[in-house]
Every structure is written in C-alpha cells, then in structure tokens.
Amino acid sequence: MTAVPALDSIEDVIQALAGVGYQAHRRLATSVFLSLRLQRPLLLEGEPGVGKTELAKALSQVLHRPLLRLQCYDGMEQREALYEWNHAAQLLHMRAAQDRTHVDEIEQELYQSKYLIRRPLLQALQTPAPGAVLLIDEIDRADEPFEAFLLEYLGEYQVTIPELGTISAHSNPVTILTSNRTRDLHDAVKRRCLYHWMDYPEREQELAILRAKVPQASHTLAQQVAQFVSRLRSPAFANAFQRGPGIAESIEWAKALVALDTLQLDPEVIHDTAGILFKQREDIAALQPIITDLLAPEAAS
Ligand SMILES: Nc1ncnc2c1ncn2[C@@H]1O[C@H](COP(=O)(O)OP(=O)(O)O)[C@@H](O)[C@H]1O
Ligand SMILES: [Mg+2]
C-alpha cells in the first residue's frame, strides 16, 4: 500500500486525485484542499453526471480512508442514517430473560451496544483515526426535517442520541454532500459547508477522462466524442434537450463506439447509438435533425 500523500498544496491535490483516475481542475481542487485544511464539510452541487459522487470515492482512495455512503431518498428517516436497535435480537434477549424478576436490569441490557445497528453517520463518527470519508449523496432527495437533523453533525461532527447521549467524532470525517439541485437546500446546511458548483468538464478535461477510462478508443475517436458532447451541452444546442449527457454517458458512448468498431463519428452511427447519450425519447428525437449541425466544424460552438 502506498503512503497517504501530504496534500500540502492545491497542486498536490490535483496530482493525488489524478493518481486515482479523477481529473480535477484548479477551482475544484482548491475547494477540496480547503475542506481538508479547515475540516469543513464540502457541498457539491451540479447536474447529474458531472462527477460529484466520484469525487468522494476518489478522495477515500487518495486518503486511504474507508468510504461510508449515505444515499438519500424521499422519506428517509434518521434511523437509516444514524442507528437503530436490533429489535429481533432484543426480543430474543427478553425471551431468554423472562424468568428473571429485575425488570430494570433487563431493560438496561436491551440497550447494550451489541444491539445497536450502526448506520453510516454513526459509523463515520466512530471510525478510528485517521477517520472516514462520509458521502451524504443526493441530499436534495431527502426532506427538510432530515436536513435539520444533519445540522449538529455538519457543525460539530457530533450527534445526540436519546439512549446514548452525545457522540462526538473520534476523528472528524471528511464529509462530502452532493445535490443534483432538484430543490434548494436550507441556508443552515449551506452555512455549515464549503460550497462548490460543479460544471460539466471542459473539453480537454473530458478528453483526459475518456482517454483514461476508455483506453481502447483511439485518440481521434476520444477527441470526437469529447467535442460532440461538449457541443451538445453548449448554449447553441443545450436548449433542444431536457437532459444533456453527463460524463458517465460520454464514457458509455465511447465504449459503445469502440464495440461497434467505429473509427470516426458519422451521422449514421450517432443516430443508431443515441440511446446511450440520451435516456428520454423526446431528447433522442430532438437529436436526429441536428446531428449534421453538431458534426459541422467548429463555427457554432
Ligand atoms: N473528474 C472526473 N474524472 C474522472 N472520471 C469522472 C470525473 N467526473 C466524472 N467521472 C466519471 O463519470 C461518472 C459519473 O460521475 P458521478 O460522480 O456519478 O456523477 P454525479 O454524482 O455528479 O451524478 C463516474 O462514474 C466517473 O466514471
Ligand atoms: Mg452522484
């Protein structure tokens, strides 16, 4: 196992992330650097597929810290984030103890830590040094009470549990929150985090990602893919679509093109593989009439 890099500068962060296959530009690396230095949670907002989740994974690799992931969804409850009691085991314990008379004692035994099921947030707080990377993914899917519940953790790296009291972090977890911005987050959450808006990558950066993730693709093909998706997302064309392709889609597309032995993009192969770039019927239909414009040399982009 290689040593944990020092990450003493923004350049170090860029290098270390590149070492695990994550391309970060300077602005993002600055946010990461500051989040580590100041030990503040980092909130990443941006369209789906711009590399938010992947950054948390890459950081866990760089820092050699376990990644704990909390995938948020509508209706998620605290017990799924923090802890719950293992009711089945508690019931068994009660059954085994049913002949005993000291009810208080039995009750106490029921709340031993061996009956506690630790969920990602509690696990993150209790991870021994150097600590964990906690990914609170797609927090915009959770509801506002859940955001309120997170405030204590985000501000102080601690949580208060009725049966157990306040639990503080052994080592402050590196904490990454992501949001696809399907709704606005509460100011109180934002105030406790460093904020970074993630855009689609620049063409050169996407080319580097494609080269690394799809090495089977020729340089020319990777370049054409990077150029094509970058034009799809440019102001001249983006309005035609409900949802543009993310990086995951361009990687998939490059792989598909390789599988089809494509050497050069042409209207026919784009037409036939549009379902990889777009996941909505309307978007696929909207692509067809403008394929030639998109392929035309630079001018419009
Ligand atoms: N900067 C990057 N460097 C390398 N790969 C990236 C980068 N950003 C995104 N990817 C690739 O794109 C995919 C989608 O990114 P992901 O993090 O899932 O997007 P998001 O969480 O923003 O929706 C990832 O699986 C990864 O392969
Ligand atoms: Mg994600």
Domain ranges of the chain: 10-74+125-198, 83-118, 203-295
- Residue range 94-105: mean pLDDT, rounded: 85
Give the dihedral sign, CA 252/257/258/263: negative
Containing 226, the helix (H) or strand (E) segment is helix 219-232
Cα 142 to averaged position of ligand 1 atoms, centre (Å):
22
Q: What does the pLDDT look like over 129-173, one tens digit per residue?
A: 999 999 999 999 999 999 999 999 999 999 988 777 899 999 999
Q: Tell me which DSSP letter residue 72 carries.
A: -
| Cβ pair 125, 173 in contact under 8 A | yes
For the cut 60, the answer to whether the pLDDT of residue 300 exceeds it is no
Which among 96, 82, 89, 80 has a CA at the least distance from the CA of 112? 89
Q: Is 206 in the pocket of ligand 1 (CB under 6 A)?
A: no
Cα 246 to averaged position of ligand 1 atoms, centre (Å):
8
Ligand 1: which atom is nearest the Cα of residue 178? 21
Which among 81, 84, 52 has a CA at the least distance from the CA of 154? 81
CA distances from 151 to 157, 165, 166, 221 (A): 9, 17, 14, 47
Q: What does the pLDDT look like over 1-51, one tens digit per residue?
A: 567 888 999 999 999 999 999 999 999 999 999 999 999 999 999 999 999
From 17, 25, 54, the mutation candidate for ligand 1 (largest count of ligand atoms within 8 A of CB) is 54
Ligand 1: which atom is nearest the Cα of residue 201? 1
CA 215 to chain centre: 24
Residue that is written with structure tokens 């890459």 in the block: 58
Residues 6+ apart with CB under 8 A from 145: none
Token pair recorded at residue 129 = 């040094």
| Cβ pair 246, 47 in contact under 8 A | yes
Q: Is 7 helix (H, G, I), strand (E, B) or coil?
A: coil
The CATH number of 10-74+125-198 is 3.40.50.300
Q: What is the pTM of this model?
A: 0.90
